[in-house]
Structure 1
């Protein structure tokens, strides 16, 4: 604490601002008026066990009392924090009422009309989705994003399952895997970033992400094949999906693991993209066996008609990608030569 005189003056000032006499102040603390008088005249300090009660009565923080000075900034921050807590609590209460009333009405109506619960569960699961996005983030104290995402995924999957059972369908597995695939595409990097992995995997999160998404893609194609009763998964689905994965996988491996400078990485990525652009149509013709065995595409940049327009566009894309590949290759060579010259000079 500050010296006794300063402390006493501060207590006197705050007591008067609160509109208390020495007697009223003493009665609230269950001490004698003489004790309060000694504090304010700077003769003695109050017992340490009274600090919290004094602060509550005078409307100040313990820091302000111990330093005998007003902490306006700290007091405002505390007020704002309490105001925020009240707003959040009111927000939670309002949402609970807004969700609870329709749910209760639907429960009663479903029982009254059908004499059993049927479509009510669809309403319940739908509200669970809304709760996961609006209430869960303000109710959980830690890992808000992860818990919100988990509750949303669970609620959405539950809704799909209930709708599937309600309609007597058999499409739940496809919809569930599609949801997991789509959400993981967006949020798996964030999950991996905040998840502890053993040392051998800690620097391979990008590889884990691509592997997971590739497996989910093939799983989704397999389930779609089974659902439609087709036989296209092995001879068409897997080859086309696998070939399509070459470009993103190649770019990832080059950018993440290739031991070359950034310009050579960009050059390699553009070269891979140009090669993919040139060969993808021929590969699709080969897999689909549609009678066109050409590996590239037909084009005539001087003649734009129904037969050449698509090929001309593909050729322009191919040449543009190849052009950027060459530009970055030249830039990488120049950068490497400059680096070698600087190293030799040093």
Structure 2
């Protein structure tokens, strides 16, 4: 039994119309119709709400109940969606972290460049030059590292998009 059929069985078992079922879950009737007809799948929060509201175990709702083992070649659409969503969440967190690290490195580079520009260099009484010479190369290194991290993140996103969709997006066909 597909996920949509399980949702429909829960709804009809409770004696509810799609409209009433949707109202209890805080979604639209069209969303319920799409789930039942296999056109769309709900988010995990909604699946949990269905489980709690109608007293159905998550195993039964997601995996299909008593016989939860997959037959060869049989797909479990909801379980696959949950796996994809988890993978997507991890990917998004990693991508966000890379973007933040790159941005921080670029900001640090800019701050070091400004400090190098306004720092005072002088020659003391013994003829020794005093200056913060290390600021400029460290600034360049931070800028280069920041740009590399942001560029690596961009390339990784393009490769992931290519792997998932078969194209690099609207311009990359």
- State the TM bucket, normalised to the shorter chain: 0.3 to 0.5
Q: Which has the higher contact order (CA 8 A, sep 6+)?
A: 2
From the CA coordinates, give the structure whose radius of gyration is larger: 1
Relative to its length, the structure with more helix (as a share) is 1
TM-score, normalising length: structure 1: 0.23
TM-score, normalising length: structure 2: 0.40
